[in-house]
Amino acid sequence: MTALDLSSPVAVVGTGTMGQGIAQVALVAGHPVRLHDAVPGRAREAAAAIGARLDRLVEKGRMTAADRDAAQARLTPADGIADLADCALVVEAVLERLDVKQDLFRELEDIVADDCLLATNTSSLSVTAIGGALRHPGRFVGLHFFNPAPLLPLVEVVSGFATDVTSATRAYETARAWGKTPVACADTPGFIVNRIARPFYAEAFAVYETQGADPATIDAVLRESGGFRMGAFELTDLIGQDVNESVTHSVWQSFFQDVRFTPSLAQRRLVESGRLGRKTGQGWYDYREGAERPEPHTAEPAEAPAYVVAEGDLGPAGELLAMIREAGVQVREEDEDNGTRLVLPSGGQLVLADGQTSVEFRDVVYFDLALDYRGATRIALSASQDTSPRTLAEATGLFQALGKKVSVIGDVPGMIVARAVARIIDLAYDAVAKGVATEEDIDTAMRLGVNYPLGPFEWSRRLGRGWAYALLDDLHLRDPSGRYAPSLALYRHAYATDKREGSTS
């Protein structure tokens, strides 16, 4: 099954920001496009707005004037839904209400031809439930674009329970012909991106709610150590706290209030207060004129230790050993079975975040996961009230000698980056095991849909087979609510034999 022919008319129903964006994508790809909106006059306003955006593309040299003129000639406002009768594809981008969408598609089914592909751009509703209102739900599919649709490459092609393979394939190939990067997905709450991204927000909020660190520090660690383009607090301010919380609540409810997707009470209070982020001037941060952005906590300069004793290879943080030597700090190596720690001159230990707490041990400082320890500009350290001040100072000075800013947070098991990445990996393995999508499509979706530096499976391969499972298992022992319980899929992955190496790892 191939993509729709460019001569085939495409209709977009709903002319808000997303509807206009989808229409522009189809138009620039070369299709005749019909715009329809239930509110009189909106379709013509939307056509004018799209025309203005095409003009800007010409001004920026991204489109020729001739191509613009041809595209505008293919764009037609449709006053009545009957004007969509000859369309080969109708994409809906109306209000996120099941009854509204079902009524629309019932009406469309009576108008369009039997071979017309019907698609919803829903981000939170069940594709199966919307299509359930149709006499022929096999031709119904989800085409979930990301905002702004003309710029973001990802499209989740969602097959409902009754979607025909031919319909899903045609939708997939059409999205690819439009210059997008489609990923195939089963109809599951949140699809790929909104399902697997939940821990990025949830764990940042959880650290804040337990007074482990403030938003500015958490965001800085996620960016400067984790390699994420934005931190969770600034990103949700950009998205809109009401929008982000609504998606989280929808996924949580759709999974029968699964504790792994529990919404944040702190975010709920923010929404209730009307502080919705940039669009209202206040969210986690203050965007009003004259307001100062809070600075992340950064430790004062400390003296680097003269030497460290390396017990083991430090696992995912192994590149630190070479960096420490390059900084002029002596590294004494000791063979230790399963050793993954540095011993400081104080006798205290510096350990990569593993899901345990500092207070459980005599004198331990934890350090957080980094995407790339050489490239990271900030490292978070975690200590308890019982940690020796000398040990914390030596740990701080060591990372400062490596050119890093240091943020000291509370005694947070799994810290910030490590616990978020571990949970993202877990949800990804669980999704594959349940037939939601392939590993490749999940990695693609998370990199393109939310700009993650690595996809979950790319993270997993880099960190080692058992890393995420071990961290979550330790977290689960300390918080037995079920929030951190590793999935069966992750358990199987952690203990499966890697046949390429002939051993478990």
Active site residues: 123, 144, 156, 194
Token representation of residue 228 = 């994420």
Nearest Cα to Cα of residue 367 among 332, 342, 339, 331: 342
> In angstroms, rounded to a whole number, what is the distance separating the alpha carbons of residues 271 and 462?
37
Looking at the DSSP bridge assignments, the partners of residue 31 are none
- The pairing of strands 154-159 and 140-145 is antiparallel
* Contacts of 313-319 spanning 24+ positions with Cβ under 8 A: 313/339, 313/340, 314/340, 314/341, 314/342, 314/352, 315/340, 315/352, 315/463, 315/464, 315/467, 316/352, 316/369, 316/462, 316/463, 316/464, 316/467, 317/352, 317/367, 317/369, 317/370, 317/373, 319/373, 319/374
What are the distances in angstroms from CA 11 to CA 26, 121, 185, 463? 9, 13, 23, 46
For residue 52, count CB atoms less than 10 angstroms from its CB and return exposed for 0-12, middle for 13-18, buried for 19 or more: exposed
Nearest Cα to Cα of residue 188 among 255, 107, 114, 288: 255
Q: Which H or E element spans position 250?
A: helix 241-254
What are the distances in angstroms from CA 169 to CA 20, 115, 174, 214, 448? 24, 14, 8, 46, 21
- Measured over the CA atoms of residue 261, residue 265, residue 268 and residue 270, the dihedral's sign is negative
Contact criterion met (CB below 8 Å) for 232 and 451? no
